[in-house]
Amino acid sequence: MSDDAERLFTGLTCRIAAQDSEGRCAIGNWFSDPLTRPGWSNDRGEDRHKKQLQGYGHRWTFQWNGLSYVEDVAASLTASPVGVFDAIARDAGDHFEVRLGDATLRLYGRRAPLQQESGVTR
């Protein structure tokens, strides 16, 4: 794993319970939505717990089926003041990409309901 990729994963781990004070994003420990947005919070399906991480060196992909919303994860890594310094996110259509130096972390997860804006620009 490259140093920049390690910084992104460390940032992700450290922000697992992050919640923006202005209510724009929240990770909720990967099992809840602290912002109580409408949607599938009560989904009790088994595949809501599936998570997969793949990659090598500076290219990684993280995919999951349940909470947290993909916009919230990208924002927790990039939004001021809680984000990883110099990390940037972009919406790539079917996923988000977070970049830091030579590292790219592709995030595939469910989208937040449109009524609530996240800290990442679409």
pLDDT digits (tens, 9 = 90+) for 41-51: 555 555 566 88
**May I ask the CATH class of domain 1-18+49-122?**
alpha beta
Q: Where are the domains of the chain?
A: 1-18+49-122
Place of tokens 């202005």: 22
Alpha-carbon distance 54 to 56, whole Å?
Answer: 7
Place of tokens 């003041």: 81
Alpha-carbon distance 81 to 102, whole Å?
Answer: 22
Instruction: Compute the CA torsion angle 37, 94, 19, 22 (nearest 10 deg).
Output: -70
48-72 pLDDT, tens per residue? 668 899 999 999 999 998 788 899 8
pTM for the structure as a whole: 0.79
